[in-house]
Amino acid sequence: MDQSDFEADRRVNCLIESPVCERLKTEPCWLGIDEAGRGPVLGPMVYGICFSPVADKEKFGSMGFADSKTLTEEQRDNIFSEINSALDLLGWMVEILSPAYISRSMLRRDKYNLNALSHDCAIRLVKTAIERGVNVTELYVDTVGDPEKYQAKLKEVFPTIDVTVAKKADSLYPVVSAASICAKVARDKAVKNWEFQERIILDEPNYGSGYPGDPKTKHFLEASFDRVFGFPDFVRFSWSTAALIMDRDGVPVEWEDDEEEDGVPQDTPTVSQFFKRKSEPPELKQHRFFKNRQLAPVTSL
């Protein structure tokens, strides 16, 4: 899988796709969606889709796709080459969601949560397949969040397509298994070939699975930590593991949208204050022109 576009700029998302043969445009197709790397605190999350003519479901099923998690990396790579030698039967696309994109999205002013982000990416991929001319009639998705709500959302966007959202869809439907293999191969490659633009030197080049519980991942997080900036952008800052380390070992940083400690404004006046006799002359106040602009006089240079 050629990832040179992503490698040119790892801070933005990247779409990689197979050619789409004529059959996929004329015959009704089923399309499977799955993701890889949703849980890890490190690296991109990848969404994958795979599509094939409904008429060839049996042939497709005999290709021996299985849930990517039950396969070794080598098996996945082999199956992925098989996928690429069967492009008269199927097509695939993956979108690499960069960890910097995930952090930026989840840490915006109005938070964009991971479920919404995942749903939008899945929808974007299906739309792209349709734009390329793929005649999608059936959609199979491994659930993210509540399956019924996800199903309703997809049904609304794709009213003419038959939508199936199921738990463990990646082991039930070979077209979803194939999508999961494409996604997983893309994620593994992106993680393996990661280059740090932050010029971080690691004593231990292996960062483990990327899951917060993995000792190698923990070690990487500690070794790459900077007290001011936090982590390299390989790390998802929005994960609680990362946020906890920044709170514990980092320099304190306050943002204007930080939540107030106790929600109640400190200087709310009591009613009686308005009826008090004003004994002293009011002090000279700065005009609000200056207040609004945070300007203050300096008396001597």
Partner 1 sequence: MATFIDTKSLQSSSALDSCHLMPCKISHDGEAKTSNFFHPSIKEEGELKTGTFRGRPLNGKVLNVPSGYTGVMLTEPHKRATEEEDRVLLASQKFDSFTYWNLDKEPSSDDQIQRALQWIDLSAVLHKPISPENSQDSQESVKGK
Which residues would be at the binding site for partner 1 (CB under 8 A)? 11, 100, 103-104, 107-109, 197-200, 226-233, 236-238, 242, 246, 251-257, 289-290, 292-301
- Is 283 one of the annotated binding-site residues? no
35 is in an annotated binding site: yes
Q: How far is the CB of 163 from partner 1 (least distance, A)?
A: 33
At closest approach, how far in Å is the CB of 118 from partner 1? Answer: 18
The answer to whether 7 is a known ligand-binding residue is: no
Indicate the residue among 2 and 257 with the shorter CB distance to partner 1. 257
User: For residue 54, what are its two tokens?
Assistant: 């409904």
Cα separation of 181 and 185, whole Å? 6
Q: Give all strands of the β-sheet with 29-36 in edge-to-edge order.
A: 14-17, 91-97, 45-53, 29-36, 136-142, 162-166
Q: Is beta strand 45-53 parallel, antiparallel or unpaired with respect to 14-17?
A: unpaired
* Cβ nearer to partner 1, comparing 184 with 236: 236
H or E segment to which residue 140 belongs: strand 136-142
47 to each of 50, 79, 82, 208, how far by Cα in Å? Answer: 10, 18, 20, 21
Interhelix angle 147-157/114-131, nearest 10 degrees: 30
Nearer to partner 1, 255 or 275 (CB): 255
Other Cβ atoms within 10 Å of 16 Cβ, number: 19
Least CB distance from residue 247 to partner 1, whole Å? 11
Using the minimum distance from each CB to partner 1, give the nearer residue, 74 or 256: 256
Q: Least Å distance between CB 128 and partner 1?
A: 24
Annotated binding site for a divalent metal cation: 34-35, 142
